[in-house]
């Protein structure tokens, strides 16, 4: 498990992301190693989580490839070069069901 993964999960937890799940994509995709999925109570909270991940990743020496969504988006994500963090506003996570879609992938426990 990478140090960057711990940084991302901790940053999401610091901004009170709920139900954080980490899926291991290392043997599935050449484009990313992990999905980190979390929920937020509202749009402002989701934006705050994404902003915190960006801040902490850069502070740890990492870089950001892309950020998708804005403060009005119900699904926002940040691509941290191999780790993609998804933040869903309450209710949207159940619509897309990423954990079910990728249910055969191993889940990773990250101690924070």
Q: Judge whether 108 lies within some domain.
A: no
The whole domain housing 60 covers: 3-101
Under the banding of pLDDT at 50, 70 and 90, the label for residue 1 is low
User: pLDDT tens digits for 63-108?
Assistant: 999 999 988 999 999 999 999 999 999 899 999 999 999 989 999 9
Residue at 111 is within a domain = no
Within a domain: 112? no
More confident residue, 11 or 111: 11
Number of domains in the chain: 1
What tokens appear for 21 in the block?
Answer: 């799940």
pLDDT of residue 112: 81
Which pLDDT score is estimated for 48? Answer: 97
Domain containing residue 55: CATH number:
3.30.460.10
Q: Which two tokens stand for residue 107?
A: 């889940």
In a domain, 32, yes or no: yes
Identify whether the C-beta of residue 86 lies closer than 8 Å to the C-beta of residue 75. yes
């Amino acid at each position: 498990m990478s140090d960057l993964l711990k940084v991302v999960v901790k940053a999401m937890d610091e901004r009170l992301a709920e139900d954080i799940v980490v899926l291991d994509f290392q043997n599935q995709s050449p484009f990313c190693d992990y999905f980190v999925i979390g929920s937020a109570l509202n749009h402002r909270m989701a934006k705050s989580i994404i902003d915190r991940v960006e801040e902490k990743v850069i502070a740890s020496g990492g870089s950001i490839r892309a950020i998708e969504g804005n403060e009005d988006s119900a699904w926002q994500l940040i691509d941290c070069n191999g780790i993609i963090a998804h933040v869903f506003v309450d209710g949207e996570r159940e619509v897309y069901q990423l954990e079910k879609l990728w249910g055969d992938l191993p889940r990773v426990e990250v101690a924070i």
